[in-house]
Structure 1
C-alpha cells in the first residue's frame, strides 16, 4: 500500500483544500484532525464524498503523542496545519496554546526524526512572528496605511525582517516555526516553513478571531454588523487558497532545494487592501453597505502587513496570483450557495 500524505488539520480550511488537491492528483491522504472547530465535519464529509477511499481519517489531537507518532511514521510527506489559531484564545489560555502549537509540533518533528527522517515536512507559520512592526513609520493615504520606507512600500515585509513575537499566539507559532527550521539544521530533516498572510477562499467559514475576509462576507450576507478593531485603515495582503495550495505543493516538489528555508506567503503588494477597501467591495458585490461598528485595537494587531513574495516566487516558480477582487467575488458566491444548503443556525460556523 502506498504511504499516504499526512495533512494535520486536514478538515480545516486550508488543510481540506490541500487534501482535495492531493487526492485529485492521485495521492492517498491521511486527514489528522481533532474536529475541535465547529463545522469542520462538513469539510471532512465533502472530502470523503469527492474522493472515497483516498481519504483516510484519524480523529485525534496534536497532544495525542501515540496517534501523532503513528500517523507521521507511516507518511510519505507531512503538511502541518493543525494549530490553535486565534490570538484571543491564546490570551485566555496560553498553556493550551503552547501545548498545541509548540509541544504538538515538537512531537511531530520527533516522530519524523526517530521513525521517518527522509519524510518532508512543510509547516504553516504566520506573519505574526514579525510582531506589530511598531518600529516602522506609516502614513494614512486615503483608506489605507502605507509604509514610509520605499523598499517596504514597493515590496512588503521580507524574510530578513527580525522576528519579534507578540501575544502568546505569536510566541507559540514563532517557537514552532523555529523548531521546524532547526530540525533541518540540527538533524537534517527536510523541512520548509510558510509564514502566511491572510488566506481566503472556499471552505472558509471565517469568525471574528480568524478568517476575516470570509467573516466580513458572512456578516454582510446575513445582514449582521461587522466590528472593526482599530480604525479599519489597517492593510493586509490577501491570497486565494488555491494559490496557497500551489505554493505548498511546489515546496514539496522542490524540498531538497528549499529545506531549512522560511518563506513569506501572501498576496503581495498587488493584493494588499485595507479593511475599509474590502468593505467597499463587499457593498458592491451585495448591493448594500454592511453595517459597521468600531472597537479598540486588539493586542499585537499590525497596522500594515504585506508579504514580500519575491523569494517564494523565485524559489518555487509560482504562477501569477489570483486578483483579490475576483477571488472575493467567487468566495461570496460560494458562501451564498452554502447558506442555501445549511440551516440558519449553522451559517458562519468556523471551518
Structure 2
C-alpha cells in the first residue's frame, strides 16, 4: 500500500466495472475507508455476481449497485451526476474476443468511454477520472532485440533490461482491442487538454490477485493456478518464454488511490503501471513456481502464437513511483502465494496452496 491514499473527506465514488476483479478490490478498499461506492457493472463476466455479493455483505449501505451497460449513456449519466470521482475499469478485455467481434469491442471500449467523458463534461465541476488502459497501446514491440534463454526472452539492450519500457515509447495500436483501448486512452488524455477534466491514464501490465476469474484470454496467472490445482491441462500459446511484469492487485489499487489523492499534480498524464523489472517473469517461470505448489507435473499443451501477443513487455515504473510516492511492489512469488491461498479457500480447490505460501514467504 502507498503512504498516501484517497482523500480523507468521505466522497461518493463511481467505479465502472466495479464488480470485476480490480474493480471489486478497489471498491472494497474505498468502502473500508468510509466512502460511498457506486458499483456500475453490466454483470456480463461469469462470476462477478459473487464479487458484488461479497462487497454488499462486507460493506452494506456503503455499496450501491447499478446494473447497467456503459453504452447506456442515460443510465451512466445518472450515476456520474452523483460522483465526486470516477474510476473507469469497465471494458471488453480480451484480444481474442476483439478479433471475433470487433464492433462489440469498439462500442464498449471506445463508445462507452466517450459516453463517460461526455457525462463528465456535461456535469462540470472538474470530477476526476482515472482510466484503466493497457500496455497493448505500444503494439507488439517487434523492434526489441531479444535473446532466448532456457526459460525467458531477455532484451539485448542493458538499459531496457534494467528499466523497462517507458511512457515515451511511440504508440502503435495492434488488433481491434489495441485500437479501441488505445483510442480511448487518447480521448481520456485529450479531455484533460480540451475540457479541463482532471484525468489520469494507467497503462497496465498484467495484474493478478484475489477475486480474479482467470481464463485463457484474460487473467492468465489465476487461470494457470486454477488449472494446476484442479489438475486440468494448461494451454500455452507460443513457446512460454514471453515475459511480463506482473503486479499484485493490492499494489494496483494503491496506485489508483494515490493518483486520486494527487490528482491536481498528475492530471492529464499517462503512466505505465506494472510490477517493473523486479517482477518481470516468463510464463515458464510462473509455471515452475505453480508446479511446486501443485506438487505434481503440470500438463502443458503448446499452440501457435496468438495475434497481438508481445514476446516481451516490462513497465518502466520510475515515473509513476516518483509522481505518486509508491513503495516497491510486492514480489511476484509472495503475490502468487497470496492468490493460491485465496483460491484454495474461496473455491475449494485441491492442491498444496499452503506450500506456496511458505515458498513465497521464504523468498
Tell me the TM-score range normalised by the shorter chain.
over 0.9
Match of 2:346 among 322, 338, 348: 338
| Contact 1:254 1:316 (C-alpha < 8 Å) held by counterparts | yes
Match of 1:241 among 241, 249, 253: 249
Q: 1:119 aligned to 2:101? A: no
Aligned to 1:327: 335
Aligned to 1:89: 97
Aligned to 1:67: 75
The C-alpha deviation readout for 1:187-211, integer Å capped at 9, x for no partner, is 1110000000000000002000000
Aligned to 2:354: none
Match of 2:228 among 211, 220, 223: 220
Match of 1:185 among 175, 193, 197: 193
TM-score w.r.t. structure 1 length? 0.96
Match of 2:164 among 147, 156, 181: 156
Where do residues 195-274 of structure 1 align in structure 2 (5 Å cutoff)? 195-274=203-282
Q: 1:166 aligned to 2:174? A: yes
| Contact 1:48 1:55 (C-alpha < 8 Å) held by counterparts | yes
Q: C-alpha separation between the residues in 2 aligned to 1:208 and 1:12?
A: 17
Q: C-alpha separation between the residues in 2 aligned to 1:16 and 1:269?
A: 27
Deviation for aligned residue 1:327: 0.7
Q: 1:296 aligned to 2:311? A: no
Match of 2:43 among 30, 35, 57: 35
Deviation for aligned residue 1:151: 1.6
Provide runs of 4+ in structure 1 moved above 6 Å: none
Deviation for aligned residue 1:240: 0.3
Q: C-alpha separation between the residues in 1 aligned to 2:159 and 2:219?
A: 28
DSSP-derived class of the 1:51 partner: helix
Aligned to 1:282: 290
Root-mean-square deviation over aligned CA pairs: 1.1
Q: C-alpha separation between the residues in 2 aligned to 1:282 and 1:323?
A: 15
How many residues are paired up? 341
TM-score w.r.t. structure 2 length? 0.93
Deviation for aligned residue 1:3: 5.3
Residues 3 and 339 (structure 1), Cα distance of their counterparts in 2 relative to 1, 3 Å cut: closer
Q: C-alpha separation between the residues in 2 aligned to 1:43 and 1:297?
A: 32
Aligned to 1:345: none
DSSP-derived class of the 1:257 partner: helix
Greater Cα shift, 242-251 or 67-76 = 67-76
Which runs of 5 or more residues in structure 1 are unaligned?
Answer: 342-351
Q: C-alpha separation between the residues in 2 aligned to 1:262 and 1:117?
A: 22
DSSP-derived class of the 2:348 partner: helix
| Contact 1:3 1:74 (C-alpha < 8 Å) held by counterparts | no
Which runs of 5 or more residues in structure 2 are unaligned?
Answer: 1-9, 350-363
